[in-house]
Amino acid sequence: MRYIERALAGQVELAARAFPAVLLTGPRRAGKTTLLRRLFPAAAYVLLEDPDLLARAKADPRGFLDGLALPVILDEVQNAPELLNYIRTRIDRGPKRNGQWLMTGSQDAPLMRGVSESMAGRAAVLQLMPFSLAESTKVGLFRGGFPEALARPASSALWFRSYVQTYLERDVRAMSAVRDLTTFRRFLAVLAARTGQILNRTDLAAPLGVSVPTITDWLAILETTGLVILVPPYFENFGKRLLKAPKVYFSDSGLACHLLGLESARDLERSPFLGPLFEGFVASEIVKAQLNAGRPRSLYHFRDQQGLEVDFIVPRDAGHLLLVEAKASRTIMPGDVTALLRLSRAAQGPRLDAMIVHRSSSMDPPIATVAPGVRALTVPELLEILVPAPTRPRRRQGGAPRTRG
């Protein structure tokens, strides 16, 4: 299968030149291993899921590291976090040798604690998400962006089903004492049905018969492993009484469609979840654009106690804010931008750009402006604003790459 360039590649190469170690995190099967092996073909490769290798690494960390040729890719390093202390010692012996330790790992709490405690100042931490629309035109609302789901769309339902099962058996049990996986599976479906809504843990707990602290723990697992995005409220500059809870989205719309039982793009078009899923797709594309450009995740929502709501606020440089409303419709009406106009008038000081993001139509000319000061954009046009073209990869029509990450 043809390799598709990843937008994060430049940031990974920059980090390898500046730091002794690079840790690439992100959801399982997003393509972490493929990216590192593509960028550093001369590096040795060690998969820390091999039972024999893992047993050696845990029983004799010094001896295990002595046997490695540098530079080395340590794949799934979260399985042996005790190695990080010994790697730090070796880095400190030769601090000017950068790009020697290239690691992948699921972004779980124990791994990140180990990095912050053992590798502070020594490791660059980057996050790789599934493919974005800027990387491949095969990415879409129904398919999502996981490489293997894009490479074999005819069997994507089987892939998502296997992915959920693998995720439950490996990542969830490794991170938390989840005993009832059947209930956790139901929790995923219930959460998918709440996509785009203000997070209400009590509302999630009630139909599952579990406690609110359990829901909090499960949400933390999904967020730290990159499967959901919690979008916090934006508090500054508007002088209003705001709701303080985040909104919740799945980071991959294809996975969300699978959890909702949507079996085809036609099912999605008829689904009451079309609007919320498109909103989540826009949120995910914004986050991917920020992470791939080496920027921190910076995405918020707005909703006050009087019901004024705008889907997303994206802070930019020098106090500049983007107000973004996401509409799954291909036809934008003036009434769709009422909230954007009201919030723009309420702003206290910052420079604002208001825009409504919609799905494109192949038959009609593009919409440019729907109201004074409000632009109408497709998702690719929004990405052009977030990440200017010279820093973005050329999008390809080709198949998705092999992945192990």
User: Given a cut of 70, is residue 314 above it in pLDDT?
Assistant: yes
Residue whose token pair is 């208001």? 354
Q: What element of type H or E holds 250? A: strand 247-250
Over residues 41-65, the pLDDT tens digits come to 999 999 998 899 999 999 999 999 9
Q: Domains (ranges, CATH) in the chain? A: 9-127 (3.40.50.300), 147-391 (no CATH)
Across the range 238-266, mean pLDDT stands at 89
Tell me which amino acid residue 51 is: P
Residue whose token pair is 């769309």? 153
pTM value surpassing 0.85: yes
HEC string of 21-85 equals: EEEEECCCCCCHHHHHHHHCCCCEEEECCCHHHHHHHHHCHHHHHHCCCCCEEEECHHHCCCHHH
Lookup: tokens for 342? 């009201």
The single-letter DSSP state of residue 404 is -
Where are the strands (E) in 76-188, listed by range? 101-105, 123-127
Where are the strands (E) in 251-385, listed by range? 300-303, 309-315, 321-327, 352-358, 369-371, 374-377
Phi and psi for 332 in degrees, rounded to 5?
-100, 130
User: Given a cut of 90, is residue 368 above it in pLDDT?
Assistant: no
User: Given a cut of 90, is residue 145 above it in pLDDT?
Assistant: yes
Asked if 94 contacts 249 with a C-beta cutoff of 8 angstroms, the reply is: no
- Output 1 or 23, whichever has higher pLDDT: 23
